[in-house]
Structure 1
Amino acid sequence: MTLLDYERLSVAPVATDPFPHIVVPHFVPEPALPAVFGDLPRMTKRGSFPIASLALGPAAAALVGELEGPRFRAAIATRFGLDLDDAPTMVTLRGQSTERDGHIHCDSTAKRVTVLLYLNPEDESWGQHEGCLRLLRSRDLEDFAVEVPPVNGTLLVFPNSATAWHGHKTFIGQRFVIQLNYMTNDAAARSELRRHRLSAFVKRLTAAA
């Protein structure tokens, strides 16, 4: 049984303000979300961890497998009119946010497409807008077109560009997000993927020690 709602993805509009993107609430269907959330590792450190360095439970592992699979790749390629057949992927999980996170930035030019899947239960803490990702028209956090609460299996996808600014207000605490990137095939991407694999290897050794 699929853990992703491809029908929702197929009908969600491709918005253009402030840059091309798709937001799909409940992309992880509500009945599946508790099992996925329960199978995420308890993370106490900030930063993005290579998925290969983490011990996921079966539901979370199945979800990541679907995200890396051909059906999801084809769906994203179709929605944005891209050829992603040969694009390498990089997948990380972030579980903690601190005062050092959320700063306005554009993603690395080695990343062609950014996919963010938010797995946090909805509660009143997100109503303060802290930790809700904003898609920005400029390098001003208040100059935003869209604000995405990081809850309930919401999917956000956007092709990277020099003006794809995004960030969020400071949030301190648990904030789970899976990030998948379809990478370029140039030297910068190969270097970033090598660092990613090395990081996964080192963190697996640390966890086993």
Structure 2
Amino acid sequence: MIELDFPRLNFAKLAATPVAREPFPHVVVPGFVPPAALDAVLADLPALGKRGSFPVDAVRLGPNARALMAAMDGAELRSAIEGLFGLDLGGSPTMVTLRGWTGERDGRVHCDSLAKRVTLLLYLNRQTDAWARQEGCLRLLRGPDDLEDFAVEVPPVNGTLLAFPNGPTTWHGHRRFVGQRYSVQLNYMTTDDKARSEMRRHRISALVKRLTRAA
């Protein structure tokens, strides 16, 4: 296992955060990545100028970013999420992807695939005026029809972690934003064919994008 080269992730803060129930069970943990670690990771991230999710082993990461991805995929975080939500994730494979660019088609209201048992989003951006204007800030919604009908809004900044078990009513989305917007998505998956298909799809998509960029 890779040892972190920067201050530890704030697991104590995660464990101390109560689960919010509205509009569905979730936790939001600002500063899960401490400031010094965030600076180190940002320096180690690749420039991703295309929208889409890339498996972390399909992109070139510096050592601090690799250490972060290892921690996200580690036993300590899995145990913390199990404890918070009362889940047994022992048999759940993980899928860890990186996004670096948000386009016009992103942010539409949706629920994640039920092949994903739990979704964790870790935001690796510094505070900017765009986030203050609520552009690209993820909203947890009360229903599928109105982006303005939200209970919680999560600015994608400063190492904030958002985690929630997936379900048929876990609606979320954000206002239009075009530009750099780094996030790590960790999913604890089911073990069925749909989950395996989704993981294969991300890997094939990343390969196609690499080949297109090299052409």
Alignment TM class, shorter chain as reference? over 0.9
Tell me what 2:193 maps to: 187
**Cα shift at 1:206:** 5.7
The CA RMSD measured in Å over matched residues stands at 1.5
Contact 1:33 1:152 in 2 (8 A): yes
Instruction: Give the one of 98, 105, 109 matched to 2:110.
Output: 105
Choose the corresponding residue for 2:169, options 150, 153, 163: 163
Structure 2 stretches of 5 or more lacking a match? none
Q: Which residue of the partner structure matches residue 13 of structure 1?
A: 18
Contact 1:3/1:63 (<8 A) preserved: no
Shift in Å at residue 127 of structure 1? 0.6
Could you tell me the TM-score, scaled by structure 2's length? 0.92
Higher alpha-carbon deviation: 14-23 or 194-203: 194-203
Aligned residue for 2:158?
Answer: 152
Selected match of 1:22 from 27, 31, 39: 27
Q: Secondary structure at the match of 2:35?
A: coil
5+ long unaligned stretches in structure 1: none
Q: Distance in 1 between matches of 2:209 and 2:77?
A: 28
Aligned length: 209
Shift in Å, 1:204: 5.4
Measure how far apart 1:194 and its partner are: 2.4
Instruction: State, as a whole percentage, how many aligned pairs show the same letter.
Output: 63
By how many angstroms is 1:32 displaced? 1.1
Q: Which secondary structure does the structure 1 equivalent of 2:152 belong to?
A: strand
Secondary structure of 1:161's counterpart equals coil
Match of 1:59 in 2: 64
Please, which moves more after superposition, 153-162 or 70-79? 70-79
C-alpha displacement of 1:208:
6.7
- How far residue 23 of structure 1 moved from its aligned partner, in angstroms, is 0.2
Letter in 2 for 1:7: A
Q: TM-score, normalised by structure 1?
A: 0.95
CA contact (8 A) 1:50 1:199 kept: no
Any idea what SS the aligned residue of 2:25 has? Answer: coil
